[in-house]
Amino acid sequence: MKILTGNDLKTGEVIWWTGTDWSLHVNDAVDVGDRADEIAAREEAERRVNVPYAVDAETDDQGIRPSHIKERIRALGPTVRPDLTLKPADPTAGNWVI
Amino acid sequence: MYKYDQYDQRQVDTRVEEFRDQTRRRLSGELPEEKFRPLRLMNGLYLQLHAYMLRVAVPYGTLSGAQMHALADIAEKYDRGYGHFTTRQNIQYNWIKLEDAPEILADLAKVEMHAIQTSGNCIRNISSDHFAGAAADELIDPRPYAELMRQWSSFHPEFSYLPRKFKICVIASDTDRAAMRLHDIGIQIVRNDAGELGAAFYVGGGMGRTPMIAPCINDFVPLDRLITYAEACLRVYNRYGRRDNKYKARIKILVHELGAEEYTRQVEEEYAHMLEQGVEPPFAELERIKTYFADPPFESGLSSDVDRSDSDFALWVDRNTHQHKADGYVSAVISLKPVGGIPGDASVEQMHLMADLASEFSLDECRVMHTQNIVLPHVKIADLPALFARLDAAGLSTPNLDQIDDIIACPGLDYCSLANARSIPVAQKISERFAASGKGNELGQLKLKISGCINACGHHHAGHIGILGVDRKGTENYQLLLGGSEAEDTSLAKITGPGFDEDGIVAAVETVTDVYLAQRSDGERFLDTYRRIGMAPFKEALYD
């Protein structure tokens, strides 16, 4: 599947396209198929996202998993600072990245 | 320390207001990202993996206590409670909001700091010896010349759009503690046979994807022609450096392709022409700058004796202090490399403490090392026990300067959008492994450097042991390199062979240290043994 990501213009936070809005959580992302460029252009023009782009992803028993490790680190946060990830209470959250 | 004059302050304040307006226009939609991006980069604001990242310049690595406090305040107010000291003597904040960036720059300006020219194809922060002005072995303090170059290069209209970024280093001792020959221009202040001071110019060094050691193109430029000669070097590069290929645009490629002899001929020709133009700054300006770097009031008659009965303290003194030019003083290194820690990271509390310690014990100065540690340059030997106690209580007393766990590591794939692999977890595992086995204490000086991509921010080419993270079919893989040095015996490390996974590279480091321990002669460092026995025994142990 193709999912759309970018950074929040004001905060720089990593965000994922949900079909109607942007979410901090990759599991909220939807398959954009071949509409990535169209959605990206519209949302960037509305200043709701900065530098959007599509990435490959798969689904597994934990939800949506970006194919490349770089995108998985973007989705979670730095593996060396679990306290600063989206799962601060889970010190093993970084295992999902690898 | 240098203090801004009215012109410095006005320049920085004006830039803050310019950027405030540019940011407002970006947020309102007047400026699209493609137009805003070069503007934010000119002010050190990158977009990284998780957020905007702000790189703040620390000129030649020198900070006052008040400046360190201000850096801590920014980490607390606008970031997530920490900062990351970099391999170019700067500091980076990883979690910056665009809407906060102008206010951060305003806060920096209040303590005579900025983020100007920490990105882009311009002359970057001038780096220097972290023991400058304190080291017993230096000819003179190189920082007045570094400051002169900072002022010359700031907003220089001719050099704001170079083919590629440009890094200059100034040192003044035969011992190179600043990786001088791995800069675009490395300058060593020297004395000639007539007893006059001058500058040896090394041009065309660098790391990155094509590492090169800078050749000396002129071994004695009079110090009152320093800027003119540097400008001649830049002009030839600006004229002929490649702009068609980013990967061949650094000056090292130009010097290599022209040949050092031809490049030098062109520089000398330009220099002769420029001498007629009178571009050198007024002598009075250098004299004004020098007054700020006059020796602080060192006390005389101090004892150099200290109670070494505490073995932890004695080890820290032996490893983490450096000989000072004034009797009764040393420079003390605060390690930002605790076992299992993140190299170069410092919390708000640690930064405030280091600022306080600079004020209390080091005549209100501290320095950022390119090895991502902090120096208190002027500490009385008699004060070392009290300083150590304060550091120890804050987890800042790791006695590991230049040991295997004093690892340089770039932010890597945990933070950096250019990286191919994570650097920090590898550094953590190596330091934990050698601490657990106790083997680290047997190794002596061993400089280990890790980069998460070919851009080499972690200086892996210059490591006695270097590690380069690469992307192999979507998974992290690590190449091992041996034999590099950033010191006066500069050399480039060579790859041992096929790469390793994360656990494999940690084991491989232990394997090569075992070869060293088995083969070393008396007094040999790892690097000396490698140079004597060559790569073969290490490869055999790694791959056979």
Q: What is the pLDDT of residue A93?
A: 86
Whether the predicted interface score ipTM is above 0.90: yes
How many Å apart are CA B208 and CA B205, to the nearest integer?
10
Q: How confident is the model at residue B541 (pLDDT cuts 50, 70, 90)?
A: very high
Residue B106 burial by CB count (10 A; 0-12/13-18/19+): exposed, middle or buried?
A: middle
Q: What is the pLDDT of residue B272?
A: 97
Is residue B270 pLDDT above 90, yes or no? Answer: yes
Residue A58 pairs with which residues in a beta bridge? A65
Nearest CA to B453 out of B437, B440, B470, B477 is that of B470
Handedness of CA B538, B539, B541, B542 (dihedral sign): positive
Q: How confident is the model at residue B316 (pLDDT cuts 50, 70, 90)?
A: very high
Contacts of B190 (CB under 8 A, 6+ apart): B139, B197, B198, B199, B200, B219, B220
Nearest CA to B368 out of B125, B111, B141, B61 is that of B61
How many Å apart are CA B400 and CA B71, to the nearest integer?
25
List of chain A residues whose C-beta atoms are within 8 Å of the C-beta of residue B92: none
Mean pLDDT, residues A84-89: 94
Angle between helices B348-361 and B384-393 (to 10 degrees): 170
Encode pLDDT of A26-59 as tens digits: 999 999 999 999 999 999 999 999 999 999 999 9
Mean pLDDT, residues A61-87: 95
Residue B500 DSSP code? B
Average pLDDT, chain B: 97
Name the strand (E) or helix (H) holding B270: helix B260-275
Nearest CA to B208 out of B505, B410, B37 is that of B410
Is residue A98 pLDDT above 90, yes or no? Answer: no
Going along chain B from its start, the domains and CATH numbers come out as 6-110 (3.90.480.20), 142-291 (3.30.413.10), 408-543 (3.30.413.10)
Nearest CA to B190 out of B205, B214, B173 is that of B173
Domain count, chain A: 1
Helices (H) and strands (E) in chain A, counts: 2, 5
CA distance B192 to chain A (A): 50
Of B52, B414, B428, the CB nearest to A12: B52
CB B128 within 8 A of CB B146: yes
Of chain B, the percentage scoring pLDDT greater than 90 comes to 98
Tokens of residue B457, six digits: 């921010």
Q: How confident is the model at residue A25 (pLDDT cuts 50, 70, 90)?
A: very high
Q: How confident is the model at residue A94 (pLDDT cuts 50, 70, 90)?
A: confident
How many Å apart are CA B423 and CA B87, to the nearest integer?
14
B451: left (phi > 0), else alpha (psi -120 to 50), else beta? Answer: beta
Contacts of B289 (CB under 8 A, 6+ apart): B2, B144, B147, B148, B151
Contacts of B275 (CB under 8 A, 6+ apart): B225, B228
Place of tokens 């509305």: A46
Collect all residues from B whose CB is shorter than 8 A from any CB in A: 26-27, 29, 33, 47, 49-52, 80, 94-99, 342, 413-415, 417, 419, 422, 424-425, 428, 474-476
CA distance A38 to chain B (A): 17
Mean pLDDT, residues B142-147: 97
List of chain A residues whose C-beta atoms are within 8 Å of the C-beta of residue B425: 79-80
Tokens of residue A67, six digits: 């194919």
CA distance B345 to chain A (A): 11
Mean pLDDT, residues B222-247: 96
Mean pLDDT, residues B183-198: 97
Of chain B, the percentage scoring pLDDT greater than 70 comes to 100
How many Å apart are CA B37 and CA B190, to the nearest integer?
41
Interface contact flag, A80 B428, Cβ < 8 Å = yes
B219: helix, coil or strand? strand
Tokens of residue B208, six digits: 């990155």
Cα angle, residue B459 at apex, residues B365 and B220 outer, rounded to 5°: 70
Burial code of B507-543, b = ≥16 C-beta within 10 A, e = fewer?
ebbebbbebbeeebeeebbbbbbbeebeeebbbeebe
Is residue B474 pLDDT above 90, yes or no? Answer: no
Q: Which residue segment(s) compose the domain that A72 sits in?
A: 2-96
How many Å apart are CA B179 and CA B464, to the nearest integer?
13
Residue B225 DSSP code? G
How many Å apart are CA B17 and CA B20, to the nearest integer?
5
Interface contact flag, A69 B425, Cβ < 8 Å = no
Residue B137 DSSP code? T
How many Å apart are CA B75 and CA A55, to the nearest integer?
32
Give the chain B residue whose CA is nearest to the CA of A47: B29
Of B26, B51, B414, the CB nearest to A13: B51
Handedness of CA B458, B459, B464, B469 (dihedral sign): positive
How many Å apart are CA B544 and CA B538, to the nearest integer?
10
Encode pLDDT of B507-517 as tens digits: 999 999 999 99
Q: What is the pLDDT of residue B371?
A: 98
How many Å apart are CA B471 and CA B477, to the nearest integer?
6
Is residue A92 pLDDT above 90, yes or no? Answer: no
